[in-house]
Amino acid sequence: DTGVSQDPRHKITKRGQNVTFRCDPISEHNRLYWYRQTLGQGPEFLTYFQNEAQLEKSRLLSDRFSAERPKGSFSTLEIQRTEQGDSAMYLCASSLPGVDLDEQFFGPGTRLTVL
Amino acid sequence: RKEVEQDPGPFNVPEGATVAFNCTYSNSASQSFFWYRQDCRKEPKLLMSVYSSGNEDGRFTAQLNRASQYISLLIRDSKLSDSATYLCVVTAGFQKLVFGTGTRLLVSP
């Protein structure tokens, strides 16, 4: 499968614990995005990387959230001291800049449940 | 006010019906526009881009009205497999996608 992959697919944790998610983009894609989706809502932008540089962060990304893409390939999203409000689907997407509109391809997501 | 507004539905239609979804966006600086499709508990997938001149892909037609900041999607001859949530999406700088809440479509036999 040459699409975007995410690991784990599901994570259940207790409030206050730290969690880390991984995203592997499509191999030649240099842009990588993280989104969060809660039930009944569309995905909301969290952050964006071009290669290893984090170029934009949403106000949704509190100090408890950190994302990295150290070698410009895979990315990790860490949430420290999880809260029940962090329960959501965390989606990763990647794209390759093109002449016109570059399509973002989404991974299957990591569903986080904070008890 | 949300940046992208859609009627959440659900729209219940019989097979073969024509159905139209609309959305409005608030940021007049938005440059790119899309419709994404999302099946239950799956990731969003690009259905089609939307251009000012309008575009058609088989049974699907998308229209953009920049002056009214309005985007539409028309589905003709609905199939059972069209049942899904349709997300209206605009870009806001740096290719960031801004999604509407989605409109749920249920096509019945």
Question: Mind listing the pLDDT tens digit for each residue in B17-55?
Answer: 999 999 999 988 888 899 999 999 899 999 999 988 889
Say if residue B1 is exposed, middle or buried (CB neighbours under 10 Å; 0-12, 13-18, 19+).
Answer: exposed
Of the two residues B92 and B5, the one the predictor is more confident about is B5
User: Would you say residue B77 has pLDDT above 70?
Assistant: yes
Quote the tokens at residue A31: 């842009």
* Per-residue pLDDT at A56: 87
Residues B59, B64, B65, B69, Cα dihedral to 10°: 120
Q: Give the span between the Cα atoms of A89 and A43, in whole angstroms.
A: 9
Helix (H) or strand (E) holding B21: strand B19-25
Chain A residues within an 8 Å CB radius of B44: 43, 91, 106
Buried residues in A81-98 as b, exposed as e (16+ CB within 10 A):
ebeeebbbbbbbbbbeee
Q: B52 or B76: whose pLDDT is higher?
A: B76
- Cα nearest neighbour of A103 on chain B: B46
Contact assignment for B46 to A109 by CB distance below 8 Å: no
Q: Of A4, A41, A59, A89, which to mutate for an interface test with B (greatest number of B Cβ within 10 Å)?
A: A41
Q: Which residue has the tokens 């299957």?
A: A108
The three-class DSSP label of residue A85 is helix
The number of residues making up chain A comes to: 115
Q: Does B97 touch chain A (CB under 8 A)?
A: yes
pLDDT at B62 over 60: yes
Walk along chain A (115 residues) in steps of 10 and give the mean pLDDT of each run.
90 98 94 95 94 90 93 94 97 80 88 97
Q: Is B81 on the interface with A (CB under 8 A)?
A: no
Three-state DSSP class for residue B24: strand
